[in-house]
Amino acid sequence: IEAVRAVEPRIADAIGAELADQRESLKLIASENYASPAVLLAMGNWFSDKYAEGTIGRRFYAGCRNVDTVESIAAEHARELFGAEHAYVQPHSGIDANLVAYWAILGAKVELPGLAKFNARTVNDLSDADWAELRREFGNQRMLGMSLDAGGHLTHGFRPNISGKMFDQRSYGVDPATGLLDYDALRAQAREFKPLILVGGYSAYPRLVNFRIMREIADEVGAVLMVDMAHFAGLVAGKVLTGDFDPVPHAQVVTTTTHKSLRGPRGGMVLCTGEFADQVDRGCPMVLGGPLSHMMAAKAVAFAEARQPSFQDYAQAIVDNAKALAEGLMRRGAKLVTDGTDNHLAIIDVSSYGLTGRQAELALLDSGIVTNRNSVPRDANGAWYTSGIRIGTPALTTRGLGATEMDVVAGLMHEVLAATQPGESKAKHVLDESISSKVSAQAAELLGNFPL
């Protein structure tokens, strides 16, 4: 850090401040974690300086033998960890991994005549009519993914993301009465819509998904099943999600981020069956430029960590902690979407506290509790203000907190939410400073027993 300080002290200060924030606040963001020192150190090295476009053994640059070593080891660990036929570890993020996967499926399944005439223009210049024409060129290929308010992700076909422009998209939701996925309704929708890609996986669904049934549905309508396991990859790696709930044996293509429950560096990955391997390996140069070899090194270290038996205990503890946190909240009167959780996350419907998600998120942040607002199914407050708070346990579990501490955390959260009043707008809240500072101090004291 002193080397950084000598060049740009403000960045050194920001790094120090970030460490202090992460040490002292309760990190309940379901997509965050704490990577190990080995993973962090593997990220910061001379591989960052090397160009290596291409794939293992087939590079557009000379001098890539050490990158080949790193990428081969990372891919081998990934295949072994998840039991996959093929692993592509280059994607820089989850979005990249999904884009690689979508292009791979299009490449494997669809002829793409006529794209050339758009080459002179930037993608951002394409009008809705151009996109419609492009989609016609693709044969109006269809994607069916989970709706955002049910817990799906932007990259599963929503308009602000390119997936929503490339594909004629529809989404499936959850049963309005239970908040649970309704496979019969999904099957009926898939039969009627006949998508090329059925997308499974989520960012904010607190229950298990049966990927065996999803594959049956995909096969029945001639679709490819692609599962984005970004959120729960750590639970798959840790053998908590097995059988019907492990996507890898069922989906032809599985994408993931590496930095959430999997506890690796920021990054993405695509796993697939042999049928899609060649197309997936075209991720660079189709979608990606030179691979981040230093990040592939860190991915290899993280996958090696996840292959240790202790990672299975960690994954089980994530789920046990999520259940304890959810139960602690519900016992104190909080309303949870689907009345609980089976995985690493839960969604609190904060409308029962008279708050929007935005107001609740800010009140919790004032009190040293970091969460994010999230839509609940059929959210009356829309996707910006929302009516929910998403919470997850991967990070606190890494710190070593257990079920007893989760009950303390539930008590702190409930105290803040119950004491917060809505302010003059959906983004403003009123919380007595004496409560926020008391809860912040209690949170810091609790975390002091679990040093980072």
Q: Which residues are catalytic?
A: 51, 53, 228, 257, 260, 266
334 and 346 Cβ atoms separated by less than 8 Å: no
Cα Rg, the chain, nearest whole Å: 22
Taking alpha carbons only, the member of 172, 170, 182 closest to residue 151 is 172
Q: How many residues bind ligand PLP (CB under 6 A)?
A: 13
33 is a site residue for ligand PLP (CB under 6 A): no
Q: Is 374 in the site for ligand PLP (CB under 6 A)?
A: no
Tell me how many degrees the CA angle 61-66-71 measures, rounded to the nearest 5: 90
Q: Is 146 in the site for ligand PLP (CB under 6 A)?
A: no
- Segment interacting with ligand PLP, rule: CB under 6 A, options 116-124, 226-234, 377-385, 411-419: 226-234
Per-residue contact track with ligand PLP, 202 to 221, x per CB under 6 A?
A: -x------------------
Residue 268 or 328: which CB sits closer to ligand PLP? 268
The answer to whether 264 contacts ligand PLP (rule: CB under 6 A) is no
Site membership for ligand PLP, residue 231 (CB under 6 A): yes
Shortest Å, Cβ 158 to ligand PLP: 12
CB of residue 204 vs ligand PLP: minimum separation in angstroms? 8
Q: Is 329 exposed, middle or buried (0-12, 13-18, 19+ CB in 10 A)?
A: buried
154 in a known ligand binding site? yes
Q: Is the dihedral of CA 435, 441, 447, 452 positive or negative?
A: positive
CB 190 within 8 A of CB 160: no
Q: How many helices (H) and strands (E) does the chain have?
A: 19, 16
Choice from 141, 257, 381, 442 touching ligand PLP (CB under 6 A): 257
- Contact window for ligand PLP (CB under 6 A) among 165-173, 225-233, 273-281, 380-388: 225-233
Q: Which residues of 339-377 are buried (b: 16+ CB within 10 A; e: fewer)?
A: eebbbbbbbbbbbebebbbbbbbbbbbbbbbbbbbbbbb
Quick one: CA dihedral 314, 315, 316, 318, positive or negative?
positive
272 phi, psi to nearest 5 deg: -160, 170
Q: 153 among the known binding-site residues?
A: yes
Q: How far apart are CA 354 and CA 421, in angstroms?
A: 7
CA distance 398 to 450: 9
Spatial distance between the Cα atoms of 253 and 273, rounded to a whole number of angstroms? 7
Considering only 94, 145, 157, 388, the residue that binds ligand PLP (CB under 6 A) is 94
Opening angle at CA 413, ends 410 and 418, nearest 5: 120
Examine residue 343 and tell whether it contacts ligand PLP (CB under 6 A): no
CB of 371: closest distance to ligand PLP in angstroms?
14
- 228 sits near ligand PLP (criterion: CB under 6 A): yes
Secondary structure (3-state) at 225: strand
Smaller CB separation from ligand PLP, 230 or 324: 230
Instruction: Judge whether 148 is annotated as a binding position.
Output: yes
**Residue 257 or 398 with smaller CB distance to ligand PLP:** 257
Helical H runs in 281-402?
A: 283-286, 293-306, 309-331, 357-366, 382-385, 394-399
The interface with ligand PLP within residues 62-81 (CB under 6 A) comprises none
Cβ proximity to ligand PLP: between 163 and 398 the closer is 163
- Under the binding rule (CB under 6 A), the answer on residue 371 touching ligand PLP is no
Which of the stretches 59-67, 90-98, 101-109, 176-184 binds ligand PLP when contact is defined by CB under 6 A? Answer: 90-98
In the complex, residue closest to ligand PLP by CB: 94
Phi-psi region of 33 (alpha: psi -120 to 50; beta: other; left: phi over 0): beta
Ranges within 13-32 binding ligand PLP (CB under 6 A): 31
| Residue 153 contacts ligand PLP per CB under 6 A | yes
Q: Is 230 in the site for ligand PLP (CB under 6 A)?
A: yes
- In the complex, minimum distance from the CB of residue 286 to ligand PLP, in angstroms, rounded to a whole number: 17
Q: How far is the CB of 227 from ligand PLP (least distance, A)?
A: 10
**Least gap, CB of 33 to ligand PLP (angstroms):** 12
Q: Residue 385 phi/psi, 5° resolution?
A: -85, -40
Q: Pick from 25, 93, 375, 420: which binds ligand PLP (CB under 6 A)? A: 93
User: E strands, 317-434, where?
Assistant: 345-349, 369-370, 372-374, 388-392, 421-422, 429-430
Binding residue ranges for (6S)-5,6,7,8-tetrahydrofolate: 148, 152-154, 275
Q: Kindly list the residues in this chain that would bind ligand PLP in the complex (CB under 6 A).
A: 31, 93-95, 153, 155, 201, 203, 228, 230-231, 257, 268
